[in-house]
Each structure stands twice: as C-alpha cells, then as structure tokens.
Amino acid sequence: MQEILDEIVATIGASDDRGKVADYIPQLACVDPNQFAITVALADGRVFSSGDSERLFSIQSISKVFTLTIALGKLGDAVWSRVGREPSGDPFNSIVQLEHEQGKPRNPFINAGAIAIADAILMGHQPKETLAEILQFVRFIADDDSIGIDEKVAQSELLTGDRNASLAHFMASFGRIKNPVDCVLGTYFHHCSIAMNTEQLARSGLFLVDNGRNPVTGTRVVSTQRARRINSLMLMCGHYDGSGEFAFRVGLPGKSGVGGGILAIAPGTASIAVWSPGLDEVGNSKLGTEALEKLVQHTGWSIFG
C-alpha cells in the first residue's frame, strides 16, 4: 500500500495541470495549489499516507456528511421532510431547482440542502452550542481532539457569502428555515471551515467502512442501515453535478469539498482521504479524483467489482 501511495504522489502529485483553486472564498484563493496528500485508513487499523498528509486544509463540503449524520441522529427520518435524496444535476450553489420544488433542496449535500440541515440541527440552540456539538462529533469519529475550525476561512465565507445567504432567505420565504437566517448561515460557514489533514479525515470516515461502527476504536456511531444510506447518498450526490462522473471513474461513495479534499469510502475495506487544492470545472479536486481513480485501479476497490 505504501508503494502504491508513493507512486501516486510521484506521478499525479507532480502533474502540471492541477486545476484551479476556489477563489470565490478569498481565504481559499491563497492556498498553494502545488500541495498534494493521500491517506488510506484500513479497517484493520493500519494507516498509510504519502505527500503533505500533515498539512491542514479546509474540509468545506465534506463536513456536510458529518452534519447529515448528526441531523439523522437527532431527527431520524424526519430529516427527509426537509431535504430530498436525489442527485441535483445542478451546480453546488444553484438556486434554480429551489423555486420549482417549493424551497425543498434536492439533497443534503448541495449548499441549499446543507443549510437546511444546519437549520435542523440548530433547533433551540445558539450557533456556538451547535458548533461545539459538531466539533465534538468530528473529534469523536476521527478519534482526535485537536481538530478545530479555521476562523479566518469562516470570516472569509461570511464576508463573501451572498449566494448562500440568498439560498437561505429563499428557503425561509417558503417557511423552510426555522431559525434566524444569520444564525443558520453562521453555523453553516463555520462547519465548512473545519480544518483537517488527510490522516484525520481518513480516520473520520472509518465508521462508514464498517457498517456504522468504527472498526479501530470499536465504538458504534450509527446503525448499519444508516451507514449504508449515507454511503449511497455520497455515491449519488457527493460530487454535485460531477457525481455521475465520479461514480463512473472511481466507483466509490465520496464527498468532495471546494478546499480540494475528497473523502471516499471502500465499504468493508478502507476510508480514503485525498487533498489537492486545484478544482475541475464543477468544483471537485482535479488531481484528487485522478489519484482515487488510480488507487482503485491498483486495488480493485470499486464497489462495482
């Protein structure tokens, strides 16, 4: 495994065509696109990394997997009255579908859906309390208490978040946001600004590898059925309107973020995190996707056999 990862870093990590860093969040525009990291956390507890695997990056939309998991824990199936579970086929920040579908986002992973989920888990709490709860959960699943939020990224998103504010207000106009919009957005921007390295991120996905139970710590996080469902949502909706392409090329449930990270799950086998800040046209890590494609070719981990 170490040889495979080192080879991926040597070939893909050295690529000239690295995609484009997200520049609509100014703090992300400053990130050096020449960084690259990959970590594989196996179900048996072994962890292999190559590249800049200790460098922290903004996990952005990957955090939506964690907030969905928390929302399902709090609301159960009532979550599905707030967001759907269909691929959107639209860009991550699109408002178009919301009007046709009375303010109900297609799925929990597009921005509108994740904002609706932030609203769902806020219920009756201050954003600070909810963020503490989200962080506590992420630290628990990653088994790492050092994980925190990059406040500079959060402020940068707040200052430039007109599109997300529009989505939230639009949903509120349909009566779909129950808390003050500012509180919902503050919570959303902050959880997107959680900073992790690929080692921490790979470990955080382990509960999705072993039917809802972290195979290394032995703790149960969610039921088997819930883990299955989260994985299926990641496969169908985890890469926005590039989800079909990711399933075609990689064949694993995965969630990307505009910070250039991707968390991918090989059920029963491994949790994989890659990071390369440059994005493709639809906002998914360009080299990260290529790296996963290569890893799956080497290992045969595609869920499609």
Taking Cα atoms as reference points, which of 58, 190, 170, 223 lies closest to residue 122?
190
Q: Is 67:257 a contact under the CB 8 Å cutoff? A: no
Among 49, 94, 107, 111, binds ligand GLU (CB under 6 A): 111
Among 242, 254, 283, 288, binds ligand GLU (CB under 6 A): 283
Q: Is residue 65 involved in binding ligand GLU (CB under 6 A)?
A: no
232 is catalytic: no
64 is catalytic: yes
Q: How far is the CB of 257 from ligand GLU (least distance, A)?
A: 4
74 is catalytic: no
In the chain, where does DSSP find H-type helix?
2-11, 26-29, 63-75, 96-100, 111-122, 127-142, 151-159, 162-173, 181-192, 198-204, 224-237, 243-249, 286-299
Among 119, 157, 210, 290, binds ligand GLU (CB under 6 A): 157
* Residues 238-257, mask of contacts with ligand GLU (x by CB under 6 A): -------------------x
Which residues, 6+ apart, have CB-to-CB distance to 107 below 8 Å?
83, 84, 85, 86, 87, 88, 113, 233, 236, 237
Tokens of 271: 């949790």
Taking Cα atoms as reference points, which of 62, 61, 60, 67 lies closest to residue 28?
60
204 is catalytic: no
Q: Say which of 258, 276, 286, 294 is annotated catalytic.
A: 258
Q: How far is the CB of 25 from ligand GLU (least distance, A)?
A: 7
Q: What is the radius of gyration, based on Cα positions, of the chain?
A: 18
Q: Is residue 113 involved in binding ligand GLU (CB under 6 A)?
A: no
Which residues, 6+ apart, have CB-to-CB distance to 50 below 8 Å?
2, 5, 6, 8, 9, 37, 38
Q: Which is nearer to ligand GLU, 12 or 279 (CB)?
A: 279
Q: Is residue 277 involved in binding ligand GLU (CB under 6 A)?
A: no
Q: Is residue 258 involved in binding ligand GLU (CB under 6 A)?
A: yes
Q: Which is nearer to ligand GLU, 5 or 71 (CB)?
A: 71
- Residues from 78 through 107 that contact ligand GLU (CB under 6 A): 92-93
- Residue labelled with tokens 């973020």: 257
Question: Residue 57: helix, strand or coil by DSSP?
Answer: strand
Among 39, 97, 156, 164, binds ligand GLU (CB under 6 A): 164
Binding site for ligand GLU (CB under 6 A): 60-61, 92-93, 111, 157, 164, 192, 257-258, 283
* Active-site residue list: 61, 64, 188, 240, 258
